[in-house]
Structure 1
Amino acid sequence: MDLKTKRWFVLLASVAINLCIGSGYAWSVFAKPMVVLLGCTAAAATLAFTISNSFGPVTMILGGRMQDKFGPKWVIVGGAFLFAGGVFLTGFTTSVTWLYMSYGVLMGLGMGAIYSCTIANTVKFFPDKRGLVSGIATAGYGAGSILVPPLANALIASQGILATFRTLGIAYFIIIVVGSFFVMTAPAGYKPEGWNPPAPTATSTVSGEDKNWNQMLADPMFYVLLIMLTAGAFAGLMIISQASPIAQEVIKVTPAVAAVAVSMIALANTAGRIFWGWISDKIGRYVALTIMYIISGVAVFALTGISSYAAFLIAAMLVGLCFGGIMGIFPALTADMFGSKNNGVNYGIMFSGFAIAGLFGPMTAATVKASHNGDYTIAFIIAACCSVLGIVLTLVVRSKTKKNQEAALAAKA
């Protein structure tokens, strides 16, 4: 079997592994039971989800360097001990401090280490389909919150919240370790047989230049892209982390119906990664991003006046669809802008934008709710404003990139 065929097995294994670590998105199903168990506020419990997202980029950066030295397989195995161990230990929670250390720190560190390998390494195997494959690989991450919410809801109902975490931790460890043995290291500068990279044009997003993390941090465009990622992830993480409480408290549905909403939003999140990744290969990353920011901004603003379950589900799914697309496109966009050679470390640093959104998105919703008697309106407006910022910055980057490409082409001519 040639490498052009083997790379698809690497992709499938990476998707299965990401399905496990993506279960962190299912936090909203665990939120209310943990509040009841610990007798804490919703904001205090949500901080565990925030900590998890904040620690992920730490090991994404380290994992990118470690996979270059030891190979992605062993980094994934190490990440399995952290991630699955964190989930398992959450099953012994007696205080918010324990919850923060297990679900927050340990799970977050494991998530980042694994994600850095499954995404960056897989993208290197597919220079001919960066957007699509980046979307498929990250779709596994989003799919975790499709399957886990109804399963977790059933387990919580039958055996309680703590036993559910222990069961899931064991299952995640087995799946991740088995999947890791199907992941191989992408050869340096790999190009599939019969394919040659297209030459840069004035409208392409590909710079054609590999930059290491030092060079990337010295490039002002990195910081613009970082803010774009933060702005794009803000609304998605806010809705994903609070979907179940919002549905139960604002729309007045049962926990079971709210769990269905969480799964449907996760389905949109997953579909968005594949759909927008494919679209971005066709119409360009920046055009696709602009469309996503517009849809997400309109949808999250619409939530300020929605009172029916159907309308809530449609708006929330649109937010999830665009959030998934943004998260699916950015690994490819980072490789386009700064080269694929160092994309493991580079995207790990870029992913800190997700951590910033993971800090402020969920906490904004929880804080606004607490200070406005359960009303999320101001939080939704803030999220809509972030989408507007994303539109403006995308237009700026697109214009700047076009000018740079035109200057490069003129110099060559």
Structure 2
Amino acid sequence: MDLSTTRAPVGARVRPFYGWAVVAGTFVLLFIGFGTAYSFAAFFQALRDEFQGSRADVSLVFGITGFLYFSLGAVSGPLADRFGPRRVVAAGVLLIAAGVLVASRAQALWQVYLTYSLGVGVGVGFAYVPAISAVQRWFVRRRGVASGLAVAGIGVGNLAMPPMAAVLIDHTDWRTAYVLLGLLALTLGLAAAALIEHSPQRRGMLPDGAPPFPPSPHPSGTPLPHAGEGLGVRADEVGVRAALGSRPFKLLYAAVAACSAGLFIPFVHLVPYARDHALSGTAGAWLVALIGVGSTVGRFALGSMADRLGRRRSLMVMFAGMGLALLWWTVAVDLWSLALFAVLFGVCYGGFVALIPALTADYFGGRSAGSIIGLLYTSVAAGTLVGPWLAGRIYDLRESYLLPIAVGAAANFVALGCLAALMEPARWRAERHPTD
């Protein structure tokens, strides 16, 4: 079956499946939201120079941002399930743009916390989970591919925005750069939000573009299966309360929490690390962009691969890969070794981001996907707040990043162990709902 179009009678015009428009809108939203957040690396030194802050103090700008957008998934997911994702996502776009624009007028570092961190953090929190959860409802058989394409917006944003911000800062100043980024977020973000729609059922469709009614009977007289069979209209959908008490959710939560301890240290500290090793700030921004290159590859390639090989096993490989990449970072001191780290870490990070929503939907279904994924992402919040800040604090005290990077590597192997203890989704669902 061709899942890219909606089936129509012979001779009728075949319309593209609207689910791909939802994927495109989500891609742009994540490009804007996370690109704006990850461009912080390019502003790191400018903010230090402007406000005379320590590395820990400046790192907290990103830490608060990440804490908010991962924590608020627990709020934005249920809001989107109740009121529809488009309204929630549009509100998020407005907050991102406002936060960056007002931050351009900050006169003290605490004002950057109050404007940039609050606006971008809450805005991305309102945009990410509702949009990516909508994608899970529009696809089942091609969920890995669709999710990978959608979250590739994070990787492309990470690729494009830090170098673009660095160029803007070099040719103007950090305040003007924030104004331009805010205007970009406003225009592209609102256009993308208009494409987001809750579910295919509201358009008279089923996931993957299947027709809503059975096709004509088979010539033998035996009716064909209903189009929804096997396409995600499952009897074993799991509600929020049941999901939270389940072993898969607890182990997924523990795994993602462990991974997050070191996950965002490179996004904040790779630029200052590069400067410490005699590279320019612009070179450091391009290293962060290389994480985006690898991340984009990971989202596109590994999402499709995981549909065939299994998402749980694929996610285990991503945790192992991030752990090994961080260990490599501890000995990387020149441009080429740092570039290798950035690409390898990015590939595994991209696969991780693509696989988490799809694997969650594999276990619990799409009915309450927004709420469940949002609650799962609260596991990242503490690590995002503490990890980059603590890495900066340790550097301020010891003038070395070795300890926080090594701890981040070890945490990924803890996450790998959590996934190893988790049974496959199909087996768990079968044991939870045994058939006669």
TM over 0.5: yes
Is the Cα contact below 8 Å between 1:233 and 1:327 reproduced in 2? no
SS at match of 1:412: coil
Residue in structure 2 matched with residue 338 of structure 1 by the alignment:
364
Which one of the candidate residues 214, 233, 249 is aligned to 1:222? 249
Residue in structure 2 matched with residue 203 of structure 1 by the alignment:
none
Uncovered stretches (5+) of structure 1, i.e. residues with no partner: 201-205
Q: 1:107 to 1:141 in 2, by over 3 A?
A: same
Q: Measure how far apart 1:398 and its partner are.
A: 3.0
Residue in structure 1 matched with residue 206 of structure 2 by the alignment:
190
Distance 2:210 2:48 in 1: 55
Distance 1:276 1:236 in 2: 18
Structure 1 residue 174 corresponds to structure 2 residue 187: yes
Q: After superposition, where does 1:42-121 map in structure 2 within 5 Å?
A: 42-121=55-134
Bigger Cα displacement from structure 2, 344-353 vs 6-15: 6-15
Distance 1:40 1:12 in 2: 39
Distance 1:240 1:20 in 2: 16
Distance 1:350 1:265 in 2: 24
Q: Measure how far apart 1:291 and its partner are.
A: 1.4
Q: Which runs of 4+ in 1 moved over 4 A?
A: 1-4, 194-200
Residue in structure 2 matched with residue 237 of structure 1 by the alignment:
264
Q: Which whole-Å deviations, capped at 9, do the CAs of 1:298-340 have from their partners, x for residues lacking one? A: 1211222222210111123211211121111111111111211
Question: What code does the residue aligned with 1:337 have?
Answer: Y
Is the Cα contact below 8 Å between 2:140 and 2:231 reproduced in 1? no
Distance 1:271 1:64 in 2: 27
RMSD: 2.3
Q: After superposition, where does 1:315-394 map in structure 2 within 5 Å?
A: 315-373=341-399, 375-394=400-419
Residue in structure 1 matched with residue 330 of structure 2 by the alignment:
304
Q: Measure how far apart 1:209 and its partner are.
A: 2.4
Question: What code does the residue aligned with 1:193 have?
Answer: A
Structure 1 residue 14 corresponds to structure 2 residue 26: yes
Q: Measure how far apart 1:117 and its partner are.
A: 2.2
Q: Measure how far apart 1:98 and its partner are.
A: 0.8
Question: What code does the residue aligned with 1:168 have?
Answer: L
Q: 1:186 to 1:408 in 2, by over 3 A?
A: closer
Select the structure that is richer in helix: 1
Residue in structure 1 matched with residue 216 of structure 2 by the alignment:
none
Q: Measure how far apart 1:125 and its partner are.
A: 0.8
Bigger Cα displacement from structure 2, 206-215 vs 49-58: 206-215
- Paired-residue identity, %: 22
Q: Measure how far apart 1:40 and its partner are.
A: 0.7
Aligned length: 404
TM-score, normalised via structure 1 length: 0.91
Residue in structure 1 matched with residue 292 of structure 2 by the alignment:
266
Distance 1:233 1:274 in 2: 22
Distance 1:184 1:330 in 2: 21
Q: Which whole-Å deviations, capped at 9, do the CAs of 1:110-140 have from their partners, x for residues lacking one? A: 1011112220112211112111211211110
Q: 1:38 to 1:120 in 2, by over 3 A?
A: same
Is the Cα contact below 8 Å between 1:207 and 1:336 reproduced in 2? no
Distance 1:28 1:199 in 2: 42
Question: What code does the residue aligned with 2:435 have?
Answer: K
Distance 1:361 1:190 in 2: 42
Distance 2:287 2:401 in 1: 17
Is the Cα contact below 8 Å between 1:57 and 1:355 reproduced in 2? yes
TM-score, normalised via structure 2 length: 0.87
